[in-house]
Chain A
Amino acid sequence: MFFFLVYITKHQVVITPDQEDIEHYFEVLERYNTGTASPEEVVFVERYMELLEHRAPVPQDFALRKDDIGKEIKNQLFNAINQETTRPVIHRVHFLRRYWLAAASVSLFIGLGGYIAYHNQQNTPQIVQQAPLDVLPGKTGAILTLSNGTQLLLDSLGNGVVATQAGANVSIQNGALAYDVNGKDAVSNTVTTPKGRLFEVVLSDGTRVWLNAASSLTYPVAFKGNERIVSITGEAYFEVAADVKRPFKVKVNEETEVLVLGTSFNINAYYDESQVSTTLVNGAVKVQNGANGKVLKAGQQANIVVGSRDVVVTAANIDEVVAWKNGSFAFNGADIQVVMRQLARWYNIDVTYDGIPEGTFSGEIDRSLTLDQVLKGLAKTRIHYKIEKGNKVVIQP
């Protein structure tokens, strides 16, 4: 018997399988997958799986192509996950829809027509372009540039010390970057958020700064002298620690700076927006633009049109201005470009226009939604769009 079996492993005669055996074989495989296989069947399937490793060699060009293959599978997965999260979280979308409705019933108008999204949603079929691609929302993360130029990626680091600068420990605490008071020199650090990232920094004086996407904050590790000076690009929300002896200054550009006494305020100074807006939540700030300066009261906004010497003060909608810090987008009579500039920063997308839809947008949108979910929401107000490969969005007439 032993000889016989050794022999058959080397024997070359072709034996035709019986149909009954083939059917039995597939039944065994299926039982294995459903967990109803007998112990002997499990042994058989697992032995077969092991032997199958010798079925075919790995394609020769695998080493060259593996990065592409890995990326492609990963992209497919994340696209699928997006669609997954859209469907099962019906209650959440529902809540949002109600939120949308509430917003819609108050303020979601299209231009002068007063076309309320609600009706569109209920009565007419969607004219939304099918969008097979989607883009995930942004999240917390930033790049920290140390005084010697070293850059650290702060995305999803756990709590703990990440660097030491001029004697100060730089650590992550509850997702924020924090400096202790032991810094000896005023060496400069910079936190930069790329598109699609949001980050919080706690400076050595206890001042808290939230950076919106595509923004940066430059500050000394320790504040020396009788002024606290930081500079920003993009958008940031400040909660400045009170210190009467050392006023706090935020430099926006050569001309514009904000002088602070302990207070909370928001500065929007994106290079692609037409103006620098400083909005005071509470306390007192003075917005200085060249020779012109205006002191703001809580609830007021100072706007400086790029290139202008004027400082125009208006009443502000605080909720709208600081919505980003609280996890949403808020619009009040914004045109499509204003809306898309905000989306572009958060979803890291490039937006092009085949045509510019008329009308303005008002309402609030959760920033944790995927791009497609947000655009679908906007589509209810008759925006047509297409998401293309490489994070591109085309707005259609």
Chain B
Amino acid sequence: MSCESTNTDQDLINQIAAGSEEAFGILFQRHWERLYLSASRKLGDPELAREVVHDVFMDLWRLRGQRDITNVPAYLGKALYNRVINKLVGKKDTYFFDILETHGQSLYEADQSLLEKDLLGLISAWIAVLPERRREIFVRHYFDHLTTQEIADSMGISQKTVQNQLSIATQYLRANYGHLLPALLLMQAFISKK
């Protein structure tokens, strides 16, 4: 007989805009767990996750009626990003660089192939946002740690082929930093087809 099952998220948002604490409680009950689990995975810290969920809902209450929320899960997802980022900045969390340093080995995930794709996408997106000068240094940094022999061994191809590929790639990167992102995305599509 309670209204929990009958009210849509949108109904609840409208009621919250009108000041209904009850609707707010129901919306919390409906969504907190998903947000908490996501924040917990993203931050690796249940206490911080708790704060994130609290802050997301506190914002929702404080800004009630002031925002045009048409898609509640999308709104909450974005709010979660904002609050998680607050924590990352506040704690000077450099886990992103751990990922880069270890080439994703620090990540926890069963499906490794999916992860590689995501990681590749992330690195290409990172290169795209680096200032031009840093961009070249960053890319070269990665190059420098790889010998052509290592690459050849891992790919099961000849060292000569790798050298040719690298040479082409290096020239390409140097000439086309601005177009790096689309190029990488194309490659990603190619890899996933294979």
Contacts and interface: CB of A to CB of B under 8 A. Distances in A.
A33 interface: yes
A166 interface: no
A52 B41 contact: yes
A58 B42 CA distance: 10
B125 A81 contact: no
Contacts, number: 226
B181 to A, nearest CB: 7
A154 B106 CA distance: 52
Nearest to B151: A7
A43 interface: yes
Interface residues of A, number: 72
A3 B129 contact: no
Contact of B3 (A4, A26, A158): A158
Interface stretch (A69-77, A92-100, A184-192, A266-274): A69-77
Residue among A10, A22, A32 with the highest chain B CB neighbour number at 10 A: A10
Interface string A43-76: 1111111111111111100100010011011101
A127 interface: no
Contacts of B107: 51, 54-55
Interface stretch (A11-19, A202-210, A225-233, A331-339): A11-19
A7 B81 CA distance: 30
A40 B129 contact: yes
A43 B181 CA distance: 11
A52 B42 CA distance: 5
B151 A55 contact: no
A45 B44 contact: no
A24 interface: yes
A76 B32 CA distance: 13
Nearest to B109: A54
B45 to A, nearest CB: 8
B166 interface: yes
Contact of B191 (A6, A40, A52, A70): A6
Interface residues of B, number: 91
A40 B125 CA distance: 7
B119 A46 contact: no
A32 B85 contact: yes
A24 B169 contact: no
B85 A29 contact: yes
A80 B58 contact: yes
B18 interface: no
Nearest to A25: B96
Given A9-B116, A10-B103, A22-B97, A1 B81 contact: no
Contacts of B106: 55
B84 A77 contact: no
A55 B24 CA distance: 30
B146 A17 contact: no
B131 to A, nearest CB: 7
Contact of B33 (A17, A43, A70): A70
29 contacts: A1-B166, A2-B190, A2-B191, A5-B187, A6-B120, A6-B191, A7-B154, A9-B103, A18-B138, A24-B129, A29-B88, A32-B85, A33-B89, A44-B129, A45-B85, A47-B118, A49-B84, A49-B85, A51-B119, A53-B42, A69-B36, A72-B50, A73-B57, A74-B28, A77-B61, A84-B61, A136-B21, A152-B1, A153-B2
Query: Which 9 A-B residue pairs are closest in the complex by CB-CB distance?
Result: A1-B169, A56-B44, A17-B97, A44-B125, A52-B42, A54-B109, A54-B107, A13-B145, A40-B128
